[in-house]
């Protein structure tokens, strides 16, 4: 029986509980708790807050609340009535201690606007490093659902893990697959097309700091033995002709994950056309 995308997302969260909570801030050199790494996203969202004056700003899959708390601190004069951190992980939400932040436990794939905002309130949504959690087949559904909870003219700002090179995207996706995770990256251009096909106008695409993933951290996070990881690494280097984002280290290897920020405005609804298949099979 095929798993629902909701189940896929929940499985990924459940599998990684040991790195959630206090431990999350130490993963990947502290990337997800770093003000420097967060600055491009925080800057773009802050600019949008001041230009659009939303009543509610919500971080979908916001984890420990680091981004939404940083935004609240950076915009003390904003007219925002409510800052929301939404996540599936109770361990991550348990790290939210700022009284300004409302913690909401919900899935990105089935949350409702009413979970975040009251009737008549304007909403601004953001997310960081979440799209790949729903797998290859789930990203269209995810974008369609997010758009369905927004009003025309509202903004959704996403920092996404993506590669401009299609082969690199496929290689990293295979790495995730061989670590027995459902995560999947699609090429940047395919993702930008998908954003536009699902009811958004893509206004800007900006680079964000890359993430360095060491093999020992991936072994711990995904329960992969060093021997198994070495075999995966050997196969990927041979199959993909030494992809540029993989590099050997004294102990194991590292993978550099690229990030881009997509500034999306909810466009007027139109009747969706048939799904577009890319040559990499992206639905």
CATH number at residue 157: 3.40.50.150
Return the pLDDT at 206: 97
Residue 115 corresponds to which tokens in the numbers above?
A: 């979970």
Specify if 93 maps to a domain.
Answer: yes
Q: What DSSP designation does 55 have?
A: S
Specify if 225 maps to a domain.
Answer: no
Per residue in 222-245, pLDDT tens?
999 999 999 998 899 888 987 888
Lowest mean pLDDT among 146-150, 229-233, 268-272: 268-272
Burial class (CB in 10 A: 0-12, 13-18, 19+), 275: exposed
Specify if 231 maps to a domain.
Answer: no
- Residue 124's domain comprises 5-166+181-212+258-266
Neighbours of 16 (CB within 10 A): 20
Under the banding of pLDDT at 50, 70 and 90, the label for residue 277 is very low
Return the pLDDT at 1: 40
Specify if 112 maps to a domain.
Answer: yes
Domain count, the chain: 1
Q: Is the pLDDT of residue 20 over 70?
A: yes
> Which H/E stretch holds residue 194?
helix 188-197
Specify if 282 maps to a domain.
Answer: no
Please answer whether residues 40 and 54 qualify as being in contact, where contact means their C-beta atoms are separated by less than 8 angstroms: no
Under the banding of pLDDT at 50, 70 and 90, the label for residue 177 is very high
Q: Which is more confident, 85 or 18?
A: 85
> Which H/E stretch holds residue 83?
strand 82-87
Please state, in angstroms and rounded to a whole number, the distance separating the CA atoms of residues 141 and 161: 18
Specify if 90 maps to a domain.
Answer: yes
Please state, in angstroms and rounded to a whole number, the distance separating the CA atoms of residues 129 and 131: 6
Specify if 186 maps to a domain.
Answer: yes
Specify if 154 maps to a domain.
Answer: yes
Residue 55: name the closest of 122, 111, 115, 141 by CA.
122
> Which H/E stretch holds residue 103?
strand 101-105
Under the banding of pLDDT at 50, 70 and 90, the label for residue 281 is very low
């Amino acid at each position: 029986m095929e798993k629902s995308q909701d189940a896929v997302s929940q499985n990924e969260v459940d599998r990684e509980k040991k790195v959630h909570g206090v431990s999350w801030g130490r993963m990947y050199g502290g990337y997800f708790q770093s003000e420097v790494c967060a600055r491009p996203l925080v800057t773009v969202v802050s600019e949008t807050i001041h230009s659009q004056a939303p009543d509610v700003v919500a971080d979908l899959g916001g984890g420990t609340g680091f981004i939404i708390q940083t935004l609240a601190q950076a915009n003390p004069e904003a007219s925002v009535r409510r800052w929301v951190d939404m996540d599936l992980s109770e361990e991550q939400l348990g790290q939210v201690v700022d009284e300004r932040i409302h913690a909401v436990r919900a899935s990105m794939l089935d949350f409702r606007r009413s979970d975040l905002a009251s009737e008549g309130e304007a909403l601004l949504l953001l997310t960081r490093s979440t799209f790949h959690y729903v797998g290859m087949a789930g990203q269209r559904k995810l974008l369609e659902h997010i758009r369905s909870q927004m009003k025309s003219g509202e903004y959704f700002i996403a920092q996404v893990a993506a590669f401009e090179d299609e082969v690199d995207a496929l290689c990293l996706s295979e790495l995730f697959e061989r670590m027995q995770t459902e995560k999947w990256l699609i090429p940047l251009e395919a993702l930008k097309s998908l954003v536009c096909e699902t009811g958004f106008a893509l206004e800007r695409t900006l680079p964000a700091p890359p993430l360095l993933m060491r093999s020992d951290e991936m072994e711990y996070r995904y329960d992969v033995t060093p021997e198994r990881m070495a075999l995966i690494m050997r196969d990927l280097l041979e199959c993909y002709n030494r992809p540029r984002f993989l590099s050997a280290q004294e102990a194991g290897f590292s993978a550099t994950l690229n990030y881009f920020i997509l500034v999306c405005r909810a466009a007027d609804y139109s009747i969706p056309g048939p799904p577009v298949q890319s040559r990499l099979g992206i639905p």
